[in-house]
Protein backbone atom coordinates (compact mmCIF):
# COMPACT_ATOMS: atom_id res chain seq x y z
CA UNK A 1 0.00 0.00 0.00
CA UNK A 2 1.07 3.57 -0.66
CA UNK A 3 2.19 5.91 2.12
CA UNK A 4 0.66 9.34 1.65
CA UNK A 5 1.86 12.43 3.50
CA UNK A 6 -0.44 15.42 3.55
CA UNK A 7 0.15 18.85 4.99
CA UNK A 8 -0.84 20.96 6.70
CA UNK A 9 -2.81 18.68 9.00
CA UNK A 10 -5.03 21.56 10.05
CA UNK A 11 -5.34 25.27 9.57
CA UNK A 12 -7.56 28.15 10.53
CA UNK A 13 -7.93 30.75 7.79
CA UNK A 14 -9.62 34.06 7.27
CA UNK A 15 -12.43 34.57 4.80
CA UNK A 16 -11.20 35.59 1.36
CA UNK A 17 -7.76 34.04 1.65
CA UNK A 18 -6.40 30.91 -0.04
CA UNK A 19 -4.79 27.75 1.32
CA UNK A 20 -2.62 25.27 -0.56
CA UNK A 21 -2.62 21.67 0.61
CA UNK A 22 0.25 19.39 -0.33
CA UNK A 23 0.16 15.65 -0.94
CA UNK A 24 3.30 13.51 -1.26
CA UNK A 25 3.20 9.79 -2.12
CA UNK A 26 6.08 7.40 -1.46
CA UNK A 27 5.79 5.81 -4.91
CA UNK A 28 4.96 6.91 -8.42
CA UNK A 29 1.24 6.84 -9.13
CA UNK A 30 -0.68 7.67 -12.27
CA UNK A 31 -3.79 9.08 -10.65
CA UNK A 32 -4.26 11.14 -7.53
CA UNK A 33 -7.62 12.22 -6.15
CA UNK A 34 -8.77 15.05 -3.95
CA UNK A 35 -11.80 14.51 -1.73
CA UNK A 36 -13.80 16.73 0.59
CA UNK A 37 -15.38 15.39 3.76
CA UNK A 38 -17.94 17.67 5.37
CA UNK A 39 -19.59 16.86 8.71
CA UNK A 40 -22.47 14.45 8.21
CA UNK A 41 -21.74 14.18 4.50
CA UNK A 42 -20.20 11.40 2.48
CA UNK A 43 -16.73 11.70 1.02
CA UNK A 44 -17.09 13.75 -2.15
CA UNK A 45 -14.63 13.62 -5.02
CA UNK A 46 -13.44 17.08 -6.00
CA UNK A 47 -11.14 16.21 -8.87
CA UNK A 48 -8.71 13.73 -10.37
CA UNK A 49 -5.16 14.93 -10.87
CA UNK A 50 -3.18 13.33 -13.68
CA UNK A 51 0.46 14.11 -14.27
CA UNK A 52 1.01 16.12 -17.40
CA UNK A 53 -2.59 17.09 -18.03
CA UNK A 54 -5.30 19.28 -16.62
CA UNK A 55 -7.17 17.98 -13.61
CA UNK A 56 -10.64 16.58 -14.18
CA UNK A 57 -13.25 18.20 -11.94
CA UNK A 58 -16.47 16.65 -10.71
CA UNK A 59 -19.82 18.35 -11.02
CA UNK A 60 -20.07 21.26 -8.62
CA UNK A 61 -16.34 21.92 -8.42
CA UNK A 62 -14.46 24.39 -10.64
CA UNK A 63 -10.83 25.05 -11.36
CA UNK A 64 -10.99 28.70 -10.30
CA UNK A 65 -12.08 27.69 -6.82
CA UNK A 66 -9.94 24.54 -6.47
CA UNK A 67 -6.86 24.82 -8.70
CA UNK A 68 -4.75 21.66 -8.69
CA UNK A 69 -1.16 21.08 -9.67
CA UNK A 70 0.46 17.74 -10.47
CA UNK A 71 4.09 18.44 -11.35
CA UNK A 72 5.26 14.81 -11.10
CA UNK A 73 4.10 11.28 -10.33
CA UNK A 74 4.54 11.57 -6.55
CA UNK A 75 3.22 15.03 -5.69
CA UNK A 76 0.09 17.16 -6.01
CA UNK A 77 -1.35 20.30 -4.48
CA UNK A 78 -4.92 21.48 -4.01
CA UNK A 79 -5.60 25.17 -3.43
CA UNK A 80 -8.82 26.32 -1.84
CA UNK A 81 -9.26 29.86 -3.15
CA UNK A 82 -11.16 32.86 -1.88
CA UNK A 83 -12.35 30.87 1.10
CA UNK A 84 -15.67 31.25 2.86
CA UNK A 85 -16.95 29.51 6.00
CA UNK A 86 -18.72 27.00 3.73
CA UNK A 87 -15.29 25.70 2.72
CA UNK A 88 -14.64 24.52 6.28
CA UNK A 89 -14.12 20.80 5.84
CA UNK A 90 -11.59 18.00 5.81
CA UNK A 91 -9.71 17.72 2.54
CA UNK A 92 -8.17 14.36 1.67
CA UNK A 93 -5.66 13.22 -0.89
CA UNK A 94 -6.08 9.68 -2.21
CA UNK A 95 -4.41 7.29 -4.62
CA UNK A 96 -5.70 4.01 -6.04
CA UNK A 97 -3.69 0.83 -5.92
CA UNK A 98 -1.89 0.51 -9.24
CA UNK A 99 -3.52 -2.78 -10.17
CA UNK A 100 -6.36 -3.43 -10.50
CA UNK A 101 -7.19 0.01 -9.09
CA UNK A 102 -10.37 -0.31 -7.12
CA UNK A 103 -8.91 0.13 -3.65
CA UNK A 104 -8.13 3.62 -2.45
CA UNK A 105 -5.49 4.76 0.01
CA UNK A 106 -5.85 8.06 1.79
CA UNK A 107 -3.65 10.67 3.39
CA UNK A 108 -4.40 11.79 6.93
CA UNK A 109 -6.34 14.80 5.74
CA UNK A 110 -6.30 18.56 6.24
CA UNK A 111 -8.83 19.99 8.68
CA UNK A 112 -9.68 23.45 7.40
CA UNK A 113 -11.64 26.01 9.39
CA UNK A 114 -12.57 29.31 7.76
CA UNK A 115 -13.58 32.20 10.00
CA UNK B 1 -32.71 9.21 -2.98
CA UNK B 2 -29.01 8.90 -2.25
CA UNK B 3 -27.10 6.17 -4.06
CA UNK B 4 -25.77 4.89 -0.74
CA UNK B 5 -27.54 5.13 2.60
CA UNK B 6 -25.77 4.54 5.89
CA UNK B 7 -27.06 5.01 9.41
CA UNK B 8 -24.87 7.76 10.90
CA UNK B 9 -25.19 6.53 14.46
CA UNK B 10 -23.53 7.20 16.79
CA UNK B 11 -23.48 3.62 17.97
CA UNK B 12 -22.28 2.89 21.48
CA UNK B 13 -21.64 -0.70 22.60
CA UNK B 14 -19.89 -2.41 25.53
CA UNK B 15 -16.56 -4.11 24.98
CA UNK B 16 -17.00 -7.66 23.71
CA UNK B 17 -20.29 -6.97 21.94
CA UNK B 18 -21.04 -7.94 18.36
CA UNK B 19 -21.45 -4.87 16.18
CA UNK B 20 -23.46 -4.74 12.99
CA UNK B 21 -22.98 -1.86 10.56
CA UNK B 22 -25.12 -1.59 7.47
CA UNK B 23 -25.52 0.18 4.16
CA UNK B 24 -28.12 0.04 1.45
CA UNK B 25 -27.62 1.16 -2.11
CA UNK B 26 -29.77 1.84 -5.15
CA UNK B 27 -27.35 1.49 -8.06
CA UNK B 28 -27.37 -2.09 -9.34
CA UNK B 29 -24.21 -1.33 -11.35
CA UNK B 30 -22.10 -1.46 -8.20
CA UNK B 31 -19.94 -4.56 -8.39
CA UNK B 32 -17.41 -4.22 -5.61
CA UNK B 33 -17.84 -3.19 -2.03
CA UNK B 34 -15.53 -1.90 0.64
CA UNK B 35 -15.49 -0.88 4.25
CA UNK B 36 -13.15 1.81 5.49
CA UNK B 37 -12.28 2.65 9.07
CA UNK B 38 -11.49 6.24 9.98
CA UNK B 39 -10.02 7.20 13.31
CA UNK B 40 -10.42 10.75 14.56
CA UNK B 41 -8.13 13.17 12.71
CA UNK B 42 -6.96 10.45 10.35
CA UNK B 43 -7.76 9.50 6.78
CA UNK B 44 -9.88 6.44 5.99
CA UNK B 45 -8.06 3.11 5.83
CA UNK B 46 -9.32 0.14 3.85
CA UNK B 47 -10.66 -2.57 6.12
CA UNK B 48 -12.53 -5.00 3.90
CA UNK B 49 -12.97 -5.48 0.15
CA UNK B 50 -15.25 -7.86 -1.71
CA UNK B 51 -16.85 -8.13 -5.13
CA UNK B 52 -19.28 -10.97 -4.70
CA UNK B 53 -22.37 -11.74 -2.74
CA UNK B 54 -21.80 -13.69 0.42
CA UNK B 55 -19.49 -13.39 3.37
CA UNK B 56 -15.82 -12.53 3.65
CA UNK B 57 -14.08 -12.94 6.96
CA UNK B 58 -10.87 -11.37 8.24
CA UNK B 59 -10.15 -11.96 11.89
CA UNK B 60 -12.90 -10.38 13.96
CA UNK B 61 -14.40 -8.68 10.91
CA UNK B 62 -16.94 -10.15 8.49
CA UNK B 63 -18.21 -8.33 5.42
CA UNK B 64 -21.51 -9.48 4.01
CA UNK B 65 -22.95 -8.54 0.64
CA UNK B 66 -26.47 -9.25 -0.62
CA UNK B 67 -26.69 -7.93 -4.16
CA UNK B 68 -30.28 -9.06 -4.62
CA UNK B 69 -31.34 -6.83 -1.71
CA UNK B 70 -28.70 -4.16 -2.40
CA UNK B 71 -27.56 -4.43 1.20
CA UNK B 72 -24.11 -4.75 2.72
CA UNK B 73 -23.03 -5.27 6.31
CA UNK B 74 -19.92 -5.28 8.42
CA UNK B 75 -19.89 -7.39 11.56
CA UNK B 76 -17.33 -6.91 14.29
CA UNK B 77 -17.03 -9.72 16.82
CA UNK B 78 -15.62 -9.27 20.32
CA UNK B 79 -15.48 -5.51 19.83
CA UNK B 80 -12.57 -3.67 21.44
CA UNK B 81 -12.13 -0.04 22.49
CA UNK B 82 -9.59 0.23 19.67
CA UNK B 83 -12.48 -0.39 17.23
CA UNK B 84 -13.92 3.00 18.18
CA UNK B 85 -13.91 4.89 14.89
CA UNK B 86 -16.14 5.95 12.04
CA UNK B 87 -16.88 3.20 9.53
CA UNK B 88 -17.55 4.13 5.92
CA UNK B 89 -19.07 1.81 3.38
CA UNK B 90 -17.98 2.37 -0.22
CA UNK B 91 -18.80 0.81 -3.54
CA UNK B 92 -17.83 1.01 -7.18
CA UNK B 93 -18.61 -0.26 -10.66
CA UNK B 94 -16.92 -2.88 -12.78
CA UNK B 95 -13.91 -4.58 -11.20
CA UNK B 96 -10.57 -3.92 -12.85
CA UNK B 97 -9.09 -0.48 -13.18
CA UNK B 98 -10.16 2.65 -11.39
CA UNK B 99 -13.83 3.42 -11.23
CA UNK B 100 -15.48 6.21 -9.33
CA UNK B 101 -16.16 5.15 -5.76
CA UNK B 102 -19.32 6.18 -3.92
CA UNK B 103 -19.16 6.45 -0.15
CA UNK B 104 -21.74 6.28 2.61
CA UNK B 105 -21.83 9.03 5.21
CA UNK B 106 -20.19 6.85 7.86
CA UNK B 107 -21.32 5.33 11.15
CA UNK B 108 -19.54 6.49 14.28
CA UNK B 109 -18.88 3.60 16.66
CA UNK B 110 -17.83 3.84 20.29
CA UNK B 111 -16.83 0.73 22.20
CA UNK B 112 -17.05 1.29 25.95
CA UNK B 113 -14.47 -0.58 28.11
| Residue B97 confidence (pLDDT) | 59
Over 70: is that where the pLDDT of B57 sits? yes
Per the model's pLDDT, the better-predicted residue between B100 and B24 turns out to be: B24
Phi, psi (degrees; rounded to nearest 5) at A3: -105, 125
How wide is the angle at C-alpha A83 spanned by C-alphas A108 and B106, nearest 5°?
A: 40
B110: enclosing H helix or E strand: strand B107-112
Tell me the shortest Cα–Cα distance from B38 to chain A, in angstroms. 10
Residue of B nearest to A40 (CA): B105
When scoring B9, B44, B52 by the number of chain A Cβ atoms within 10 A, the one with the most, hence best to mutate, is: B44
Q: Which residue segment(s) compose the domain that A31 sits in? A: 4-114
Q: Decide if B105 contacts B20 (C-beta within 8 A).
A: no
Determine the structural domain holding residue B77 and report its residue range. 4-112
Over residues A15-60, the pLDDT tens digits come to 999 999 999 999 998 889 999 999 888 999 999 998 888 899 999 9
CATH of the domain at B56: 2.60.40.10
Domain count, chain B: 1
Model confidence at B94: pLDDT above 80? no
Mean pLDDT of A81-98: 93
CATH number of the domain enclosing A29: 2.60.40.10
Evaluated on CA atoms A104, B92, B69, B26, the torsion sign reads: positive
State how many domains chain A has: 1
Residue B96 has pLDDT above 70, yes or no: no
Mean pLDDT on B43-60 = 92
Amino acid sequence: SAVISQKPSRDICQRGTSLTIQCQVDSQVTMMFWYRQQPGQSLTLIATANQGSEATYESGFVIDKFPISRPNLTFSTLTVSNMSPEDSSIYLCSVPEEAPGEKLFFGSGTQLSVL
Amino acid sequence: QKEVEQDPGPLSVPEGAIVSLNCTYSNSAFQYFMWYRQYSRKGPELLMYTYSSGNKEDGRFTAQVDKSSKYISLFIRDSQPSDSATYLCAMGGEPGGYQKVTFGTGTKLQVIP
